[in-house]
Structure formats: C-alpha cells, structure tokens
A and B are shown apart, each in its own frame.
Chain A
Amino acid sequence: MSLTKASIVDSICNHSGCSKTQSIDLMESILKTIKMTLESGEDVLISGFGKFCVKEKKERRGRNPQTGDDLMLGSRRVVIFKCSFLLKDKINGKG
C-alpha cells in the first residue's frame, strides 16, 4: 500500500468540501509552488514535517563501478530531505 496523489486529492475533497476538480488544482498548485521554490535554489521548510533543502554538490572524481574507469562527476544541485524530529518521533511511535 502506498499513498499517492490521487488519495491525497480525495482527502482534500473530503476535508475541505471542494469539488474533485478543484482539489486536483489545489494539490497541483501546492506542488508547483514547492517545485518552483526549490528550482530557484531556496529551501522549503514544512514545520512538523521536514525541510527540503537544495544542496550544491562540487565536482568530484568518481569511478564507474562496473568497469572501474575513472571519470569526473560535474558539479550539480540536488534536493535533500531533512526529517523533522516531530515526524521522526511519530514514525518511531513516540509521537
């Protein structure tokens, strides 16, 4: 069992009394805002849940694990998630 966008949309629909179409728009709008913020290089902090951070990775020497060849990995930007301690406690049954 996994939670998907469709089940969150249903939940928005039930909790807010919005129509299904509007609930889909709301869900997409939230995701769009978060994605655009991360894209601009800004972190997104959801208190009680966690923080989505944009991290700059420097260029480094790597290896192809299959062939053992040396190669350079270019600098890049990645998203990492830091879990809130509140969420961590909930997951570990202490919440």
Chain B
Amino acid sequence: MNELHVTVLPSPADASVTVFRLQGHLDAQTVRQLETHYESETARARHKWIVDLSSLEYISSAGLGSFVGVLSELRSQGGDILFSGLSPKMMKIFKVLGFTRIFKVFDSEADALAAFLRP
C-alpha cells in the first residue's frame, strides 16, 4: 500500500471539531492530498483539528512540515491541532523535532476530543 488514505469527519461529539484519520504513508508525494483537505476545512471555518496517526505506517518531514505550516492560521482563529495514536517510532521523531513542545499529543482520539471540550 503506497498511498495515503485520509478520512475527514466532524467529531461525533462536537461538530466544531474535525478528525483527520490518516492511514498509509505520508511523504512528500501524499502530503499534497492532505493539504487539499486542510484548505477545505479552513474554508469552512473549522479550526479545531484532531489528527489521528494510529493507522499511519510512515511519516516523513514533508508531512510533519505541513502541520507546522498550517498551525498559525488555526491558532489565530482559536483553533489547534491535537495529535493522537502515535507509534513509538513517530513519538521519537516528534521528540527529535521538538514537536512535543509545540503540539499536544494524546493516547487516543477520545482523549484529544476531551481536551478540546474542556472549558
């Protein structure tokens, strides 16, 4: 399986939160596909994102950079990106790049959602 499958859906608990479920390989090729989803979500004024990586097999800096590139736009609108489901290998990359300082990382999608809903 070479490609990336992206499932974008409003969170069942709160429609203002968008969940991205990524499956497959996120690299310099497949990131373009993901970025079109970014544009359609921001165009619809949805700025709270949960990105679930539990089914993602591979990620390179191109994928990681896409999150960095879109973050200030989301935060300026009161939104954010929360991550869930990182494998130990991805956690290692997150730590090396300092992503764990910038992004909040949760065990599960549900934990991330709870963090958005917390008053």
A, B bound: no
- Measured CB to CB, the residues of A under 8 A from B are none
- Report which B residues bind A (CB closer than 8 A): none
